[in-house]
Amino acid sequence: MNKLHQVLAHMRQGQWNEAHDLVQSDDTLPGAWLHGILHIQEGDLEDAEYWYGKTNRNFRSRGTLAEELERFTAELLNMDAQA
């Protein structure tokens, strides 16, 4: 299981500190997006907007947390399939 899958698993289990510690060590664009999603889940919208900006995603046009997690998971699975 790669790092971003592990971050998602921690998020789903409510292990925010573990998820945050792990995602901070990922310097990919998907990692930055997931970092932003994690900050949304934590209620830290200012930091979430910063991380969305690093991915060139429009923070204000995002979906709900559930939609963002679903969209991220689908893209991650697509990247896995292409690897």
Four-CA torsion 65, 13, 7, 43, nearest 10 degrees: 40
**What's the pLDDT score for residue 83?**
75
Burial (CB count within 10 angstroms: exposed 0-12, middle 13-18, buried 19+), residue 48: buried
**What's the pLDDT score for residue 2?**
87
Tens digit of each residue's pLDDT (9 = 90 or more) over 29-82: 999 999 999 999 989 999 999 999 999 999 999 999 999 999 999 999 998 888
Q: Which domains occur in the chain, in start order?
A: 3-82 (1.25.40)
CA separation for the pair 77, 56 (Å, rounded) = 20
